[in-house]
Chains A and B, each alone.
Chain A
Amino acid sequence: MLRVEEQQPVEFSAALTEKFDEIVKRYPEGKQKSALLPILHEVQAEFGWLSTSAMDQVAAYLDIQDIEVYEVASFYTMYFLKPQGKYVLEVCRTGPCCLVGAEKLMEHIEQKLGVKEGEVTSDGLFSWRGVECLAACGFGPVLQIGPEYTFYENLDEKKVDDLIEDLRKK
C-alpha cells in the first residue's frame, strides 16, 4: 500500500486537458469512462509514470471514483505506478523471441546498463524489463521504448549497444 505523502502533487497543463477533451468526444454521452485508458497513456507520456495525484485528477476529470482508476492502472502492464528511467527498454521474453535469442539479449542489456530488471540507472536515463509477446515474432528479438513505443526489430548485441549510445547522446 502506498503512502500518499511520499508523492509530489502534479498539475495538468491546459494542452493536456485539451487532449482529454478531444478523447472524450469519441464516446457516447455519459460513457466518458471509456476515455480512461487513452487518457492514462497521455498522462504517462507527460510525466513518465502515474502518480496517485495524477490518477486522482484523472478520476475527477472523468467523474469516476479514484479506486476505479487505480484498479485499471494496476491491471494493465503498460502503466507504471513507480517512477522509471527516461527510456524504458521493454524486451519481448516470450517463446518465439526466445527461440532466436531474446534471453541472451536481456542478459546483455542487464550487463550493459548495470541494473537489474525494473531498476533505474543512477543517471536516471534507463530502466529495462522483459515483457510478454509484442506481436513481432517473425522479427525477433525485439524491444520497444515508450512513450511512442518506437520499435526495434531483429536485434543483436551490437544493435542494442548502438541504440543505448544513441539514446545517451540525445
Chain B
Amino acid sequence: MSDKVKVTIDGITVEVEPGTTILNAARQIGGDIVPPAMCYYSKLEGSGGKCRTCIVKVSKGSEKDPRPMPKLVASCRTTVMDGMEVQNITSPEVLEARSGVVEMLLINHPLDCPVCDQAGECDLQNLGYEHGLQKTRYEFERRTFERIDIGDKIQLHMNRCILCYRCVFTADQITNKRVHGILNRGDHSEISTYIQTAVDNDFSGNVIDVCPVGALTDKTFRFKNRVWFTKPIDAHRDCPTCSGKVTLWYKGEDVLRVTARKDVYGEVEEFICNTCRFDKKKTADWVIEHPTAVSDTSVISSNHYDTLKPLPVIQDNPKLQHANKIELEKTSKF
C-alpha cells in the first residue's frame, strides 16, 4: 500500500500504517529491538509515556525533515514519520539512559522478589535483570506503605508499585465505576481508594493482570505457589459476562489461579470477568484447549516444555512416535 510510512529501527526497515507509534512499529519487527514498556498498554487508551523505559533516539526525524530529535523520546507515545530512523539497542546513549530509568524505578522498590507472587512473571524483574546495576547506590530508607486489601480478592502492595497508572486506566475504561486512583503527588503518590471502599466490580480483577509488578495480586493465589512450578493451560468456557478465554495455572490436578491470556508482550488478549477469574477453579468448569505458549526465556518454561513440544520429525514418523510413547502420552494429556 502506498500510504504506508517507512521507518527504520536499529537498521531494520518496516512499513507501517500512518499514526503508528515507534514502539508498535518495533513490535511489528519483533525481537530484541522492541523497547521495554512498563506503563504503556496497547489495550488501554491514554496509557504510556510515564515510566520512560521505552525511550529511544530518533536520529532522523523524517524524509521531509531529517533533523534528529533533540531529546530521547518515549517510543510508546511518539508516532512514526515517513523515513524516520530510530536507534534503540544500537545507541549507547539510549541504553545508558534506560539503565538510569531502571535505577530510578528500583531505588524505592522493596526488591522482595523472594516473597512476591509476581516473581517469575514480573516486568520489573526482567527489566532489572537486563538493565539494572549489580548494586544499589541508594543509601536511604525506602518509602513504605501499609498493605491494603481492596476488596476480598485483590491485595494492594503499594511498596512495589511503579505508578504506571495502568490499573487506573483499566478501571476507567473497562469497569463502570472507578473507586481507586492516584492520591498525593511526587514520590508520595500512591494508588488508593482514599476511604475504605472495596473495589467491587465484574471486571475489577483485571487490574491484577495489567499490573507490571507485584503491587496488585490475586488473594486467591497469594503464597499458594511460585509461578514457575505451575503449568499454564489455555481453556475457555461459555461465559455470559466475558469472552471466557483464559489461562489456567495448574499444580498437579489443581487449578491454582485463572488469568486472562497474555501475548508475547505480557498484555492480556481479552479482559476477563471476576467470575471466571476467582470462582471457576475446577477443571470441570472449563474446556481445555492446549498448553499455553510460554517464551523460552521465561522461567515458567523451565523444565516443562521439552516434552510438551514434540519435534515435527517425531510427529511425522510412526516409529519415532512409538519410541517416545511415554513422553507423548504426557503431551496428549494436556
Contacts and interface: CB of A to CB of B under 8 A. Distances in A.
Interface string B175-194: 00111111111000000111
A161 to B, nearest CB: 34
A2 B183 contact: no
A135 interface: no
A1 B177 contact: no
Contacts of A74: 183-185, 194
Interface in B179-221: 179-185, 192-196
Interface in A1-43: 1-4
Contacts of A4: 195-196
B293 interface: no
Contacts of B314: none
A1 B192 contact: yes
In the complex, which of the residues A2, A3, A52, A74 has the most CB atoms of chain B within 10 Å of its own CB atom?
Answer: A74
Contact of A70 (B148, B177, B183, B196): B183
Interface stretch (A61-69, A117-125, A147-155): A61-69
Nearest to B145: A1
Given A1-B196, A67-B181, 14 more contacts: A1-B193, A1-B194, A2-B194, A2-B196, A52-B194, A65-B177, A65-B179, A67-B178, A67-B193, A67-B194, A70-B183, A71-B181, A74-B183, A74-B194
* Interface residue tally on A, bucketed by range: 10 to 19
What interface size band does chain B fall in?
10 to 19
A76 to B, nearest CB: 8
A68 B168 CA distance: 11
Given A1-B148, A65-B177, A71 B196 contact: no
Contacts of A66: 179, 194
Interface of B: 146, 148, 177-185, 192-196
B182 A1 contact: no
A128 B76 CA distance: 44
Interface string A41-70: 000000000001000000000000111101
A68 B177 CA distance: 11
Contacts of B182: 71
Label chain A's interface by main secondary structure.
helix
Interface of A: 1-4, 52, 65-68, 70-71, 74-75
Nearest to A4: B195
Nearest to A65: B178
Contacts of A65: 177-179
A60 to B, nearest CB: 14
Nearest to B182: A71
B146 to A, nearest CB: 8
Contacts of B195: 1-4, 52, 70
B163 to A, nearest CB: 13
Contacts of A70: 181, 183, 194-195
B188 to A, nearest CB: 9
A74 B183 CA distance: 6
Contacts of B180: 67
Contacts of B178: 65, 67
Nearest to A67: B181
Contacts of A1: 146, 148, 192-196
18 contacts: A1-B146, A2-B194, A2-B195, A2-B196, A4-B195, A4-B196, A65-B177, A67-B178, A67-B193, A68-B181, A70-B194, A71-B181, A71-B182, A74-B185, A74-B194, A75-B183, A75-B184, A75-B185
A136 B177 CA distance: 43
A68 B178 CA distance: 9
A74 B195 CA distance: 13
Contacts of A68: 181
Contacts of A67: 178-181, 193-194
A74 B190 CA distance: 10
Nearest to A3: B196
B192 to A, nearest CB: 6
Nearest to B177: A65
Contacts of A71: 181-183
A67 B194 CA distance: 8
Contacts of A3: 195-196
Nearest to A52: B195
A99 to B, nearest CB: 25
B197 to A, nearest CB: 8
Contacts of A2: 194-196
Contacts of B181: 67-68, 70-71
Interchain residue pairs A-B with the least CB separation, the first 4: A70-B194, A67-B181, A74-B183, A71-B181
